[in-house]
């Protein structure tokens, strides 16, 4: 194995940190992963900084171990590295690059006042999870740390800074820090507006001075420093000097991993959270439910982001697994998931008389700042396992559909849509449900479950191996030209049933609001 002809993509997902090593043929050679989970600490959804570093090192160590065991080679270098992570949230540093407050993830919905005011002043939708909303809310709250801020970044940008010493963001990740203009720069008018809003607070910085510089895909964004190499691999056997791709958000790497960066293409990532990304061929109106972000090369993207997807499904399936164990029945977790997902296909398409809300946390599309998982049913509803499971699997996409219906009203054109993430692991089930939700065929690629780390590795490959072609052409002609995918279209009955379910879902949202208020 020639290590110089490999690249490494690392992604910090919401439940797993994963690294993959790929070769010049874009095939995965080895991987390593570390399981983790966010915690609710004093009302803030976060990951502790020591867990971030420990998880990175454990993940990389496992990658090295697999390379050594499989190929008999010590992973001491590679052609390029890139880091991606869950987008947005709030991570601020002082002049010594020390954190000033806890890492506030995308899941927090404590920025309502700031997001509302910024959206009005900018004439541009600012979601609650965006970094600028968190920053402005901290200013409005007169939090003590604000005056000490030197850098505002994301988790991907933070890890990139630690490993390279460069304060840089990929354009896709940057578009969730602060709105961009058509030239891939922070919007000048909005920068001036923001500085005007904070003028009375007499802060020792302006907004331009604390935001990262922006790089588009294909451009080198620094090299691994000696201290970065030791942070990544405390054994000291991994070499410094390796070039880095721009750090990106998980939305951008998901688009890359599913070959959905071309105009009029789209993808849906569904796991702990769910989001749809559609590369736009024309502008859309300002909608609170729709974020405007970019591809890793800066093309405008309509993003519908839902904070909740599979967590409630997981909770119920774990309960069934516990019951099986209580009966002395041995069944693996993957098999349990597959069987219960497949059972859902036998349920009534509209889950008649059954309804659920999968809100573990707040939800922007439906305007909730908190969540309570709720299952309800009519007294005369047929309560069988198939419809019960279908209710929860349908509910996981219901909020996403509400946002996608707005794009349909805007007459946004989509030539192809790909699904990826844990929701689609059971063969055909999630694919069929998504097709029912959006009323168009859905494709699943054979690489779909490699997800973000694979997408980040592809961006590294594009940086060092492209010969002048666009990212779109590189992916079409050199990565996915022989890719195997399966396309499925839901039946008319499934589509009609999903629409009826969502109509009931929308009508009964008052139940969820009442649950939050009273429980």
Say whether pLDDT at 115 is over 70. Answer: yes
pLDDT greater than 80 at residue 450? no
Is the distance from CB of 505 to CB of 366 less than 8 angstroms?
Answer: no
- Report CA 240 to chain centroid distance, whole Å: 29
How confident is the prediction for the chain on average, in pLDDT?
Answer: 95
Mean pLDDT of 133-149: 98
* Residue 182 belongs to some domain of the structure: yes
Torsion angle (degrees, nearest 10) of CA 234, 239, 242, 245 = -20
| % of the chain exceeding 70 in pLDDT | 99
Of 153, 112, 150, 114, nearest to 131 by C-alpha is 153
Separation between Cα atoms, residue 326 and residue 279, nearest integer Å: 48
Is the pLDDT at 97 greater than 90, yes or no? yes
Q: In this predicted structure, what is the pLDDT of residue 445?
A: 85
Residue 392 has pLDDT above 80, yes or no: yes
Judge whether 372 and 311 are in contact, CB under 8 Å: no
Q: Collapsing DSSP states into helix, strand and coil, what is residue 286?
A: coil
Q: What is the pLDDT of residues 16-35, one digit of tens each?
A: 999 999 999 999 999 999 99
Number of separate helices (H) and strands (E) present in the chain: 16, 20
Shortest CA distance to 16 belongs to which of 449, 391, 382, 356?
Answer: 449
Beta strands in 218-299 (DSSP E): 248-249, 265-270, 274-279, 291-294
Count Cα atoms within 13 angstroms, Cβ side, for 328: 0
Q: What is the mean pLDDT of residues 142-155?
A: 98
pLDDT score at 14 = 87
- Residue 335: exposure state from Cβ atoms within 10 A (0-12, 13-18, ≥19): exposed
Spatial separation of the C-alpha atoms in residues 175 and 119, rounded to whole Å: 15
- Cα separation of 48 and 42, whole Å? 13
Domain range for residue 186?
88-153+178-211
Contacts of 222 (CB under 8 A, 6+ apart): 160, 164, 165, 166, 168, 243, 244
Q: Name 93's bridge partners.
A: 99, 151
Q: Which residues pair with 151 in a beta bridge?
A: 93
110 located within any domain: yes
- CA separation for the pair 55, 454 (Å, rounded): 18
* Helix spans in 38-130 (H): 49-71, 112-122
pLDDT above 90 covers a percentage of the chain that reads: 88
User: What whole-number distance in Å separates Cα of residue 343 and Cα of residue 386?
Assistant: 5
Give the side-chain half-sphere CA count within 13 A for 468. 0
Task: Determine the Cα–Cα distance for residues 473 and 491; give it in Å rounded to an integer.
Answer: 33
For residue 448, pLDDT beyond 80:
no
| 122 part of a folded domain | yes
pLDDT of amino acid 146: 98
Alpha carbons within 13 A on the beta-carbon side of 80: 25
449, pLDDT greater than 70: no
Q: Is residue 22 part of a domain?
A: no
Count: domains in the chain: 1
> Quick check: is 499 in a domain?
no
Report the CATH number that the domain containing residue 110 is assigned in CATH: 3.30.420.40
* CA–CA distance, 396 with 225 (Å, rounded to integer): 42
Contact predicate 167/211, CB 8 Å: no
Q: Which residue is associated with the tokens 């995918």?
A: 485
User: Can you tell me which residue has the tokens 């460069």?
Assistant: 166
* Residue position matching structure tokens 């690629």: 445
Residue 134 domain flag: yes
Q: Is residue 202 part of a domain?
A: yes
Residue 122 token pair? 């900018």
pLDDT grade for 88, boundaries at 50, 70 and 90: confident
Residue 62 lies in a domain: no
Q: What is the pLDDT of residues 403-428, one digit of tens each?
A: 999 999 999 988 889 998 889 988 89
Q: Which residues pair with 274 in a beta bridge?
A: 270, 306
Nearest to 158 by CA among 173, 143, 171, 141: 173
Residue 248's DSSP bridge partners are: 84
447 pLDDT higher than 70:
no
pLDDT, mean of residues 62-74: 97
């Amino acid at each position: 194995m020639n290590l110089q002809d490999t690249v490494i993509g690392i992604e910090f997902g919401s439940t797993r940190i994963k690294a993959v090593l790929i070769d010049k043929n874009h095939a995965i050679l080895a991987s390593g992963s570390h399981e983790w989970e966010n915690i609710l600490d004093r009302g803030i959804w976060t990951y502790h900084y020591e867990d971030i570093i420990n998880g990175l090192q454990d993940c990389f160590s496992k990658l090295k171990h697999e390379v050594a065991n499989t190929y008999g080679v010590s992973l001491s270098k590679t052609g390029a590295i890139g880091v991606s992570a869950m987008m947005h949230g709030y991570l601020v540093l002082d002049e010594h690059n020390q954190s000033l407050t806890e890492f506030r993830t995308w899941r927090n919905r404590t920025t309502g006042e700031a997001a509302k005011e910024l959206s009005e002043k900018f004439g541009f939708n600012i979601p609650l999870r965006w970094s600028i909303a968190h920053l402005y809310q901290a200013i409005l709250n007169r939090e003590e740390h604000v005056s000490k801020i030197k850098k505002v970044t994301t988790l991907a940008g933070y890890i990139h800074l630690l490993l390279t010493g460069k304060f840089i963001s990929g354009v896709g990740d940057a578009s969730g820090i602060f709105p961009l203009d058509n030239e891939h720069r922070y919007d000048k008018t909005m920068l001036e507006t923001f500085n005007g809003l904070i003028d009375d607070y007499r802060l020792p910085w302006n907004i331009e001075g604390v935001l990262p510089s922006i790089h588009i895909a294909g451009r080198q964004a620094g090299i691994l420093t000696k201290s970065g190499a030791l942070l990544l691999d405390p054994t000291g056997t991994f070499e410094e000097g390796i070039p880095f791709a721009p750090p990106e958000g998980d939305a951008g790497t998901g688009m890359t991993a599913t070959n959905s960066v071309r105009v009029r293409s789209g993808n849906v990532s569904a796991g702990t959270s769910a989001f749809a990304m559609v590369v736009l061929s024309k502008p859309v109106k300002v909608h609170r439910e729709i974020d405007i972000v970019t591809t890793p090369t800066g093309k405008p993207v309509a993003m519908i982001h839902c904070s909740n997807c599979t967590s409630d499904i997981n909770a119920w399936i774990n309960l069934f697994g516990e019951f099986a164990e209580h009966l002395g029945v041995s069944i693996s977790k993957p098999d349990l998931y597959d069987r219960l997902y497949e059972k859902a296909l036998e349920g009534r398409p509209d889950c008649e008389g059954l309804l659920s809300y999968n809100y573990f946390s707040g939800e922007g599309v439906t305007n909730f700042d908190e969540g309570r998982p709720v299952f309800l049913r009519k007294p005369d509803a047929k309560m069988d396992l198939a419809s019960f499971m279908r209710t929860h699997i349908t509910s996981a996409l219901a909020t996403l559909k509400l946002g996608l219906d707005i794009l349909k009203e805007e007459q946004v054109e989509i030539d192809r849509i790909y699904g990826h993430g844990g929701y689609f692991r059971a063969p055909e089930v999630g694919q069929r449900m998504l097709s029912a939700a959006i009323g168009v065929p859905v494709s699943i690629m054979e690489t779909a479950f490699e997800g973000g780390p694979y997408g980040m590795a592809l961006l590294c490959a594009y940086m060092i191996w492209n010969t002048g072609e666009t990212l779109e052409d590189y992916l079409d002609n050199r990565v996915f030209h022989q890719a195997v995918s399966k396309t499925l279209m839901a039946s008319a009955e499934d589509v009609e049933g999903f629409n009826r379910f969502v109509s009931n879902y929308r009508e009964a949202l008052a139940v969820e609001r009442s649950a939050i208020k009273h429980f």
